[in-house]
Amino acid sequence: MRTGRPPGAPRPVVLNEIDQKVRDQVVTALREHGGNVSAVARALDKDRKQIQRWIKRFNLDPNSYR
């Protein structure tokens, strides 16, 4: 079955309203803190591992914010 995307390409992420809000917060914090995951975790009052899970879930690259 063809999906219209190259093999190995990530699947598009469809987010519900809550997930979109969380993603927006993480992206904003990554921009503000230059991609520093520990600083983002402190700013959002979350564990660093939670931020890393969100980064993976939302297919974000912290290095692109540096």
Q: What is the pLDDT of residues 10-58, one digit of tens each?
A: 666 678 999 999 999 999 999 999 999 999 999 999 999 999 999 999 9
Interatomic CA distance for residues 3 and 17, integer angstroms:
25
pLDDT of residue 1: 54
Q: Considering the entire predicted model, what is its pTM?
A: 0.79
Q: Find the Cα–Cα–Cα–Cα dihedral 62, 53, 58, 40, rounded to 10°.
A: -40
Kindly state the tokens that stand for 19. Answer: 């997930």
Candidates 61, 20, 56, 27; CA nearest to 44 is 27
User: Can you count the helices (H) and strands (E) in the chain?
Assistant: 3, 0
The sign one gets for the Cα dihedral 19, 25, 31, 36 is negative
Residue 5 — pLDDT band, cuts 50, 70, 90? low
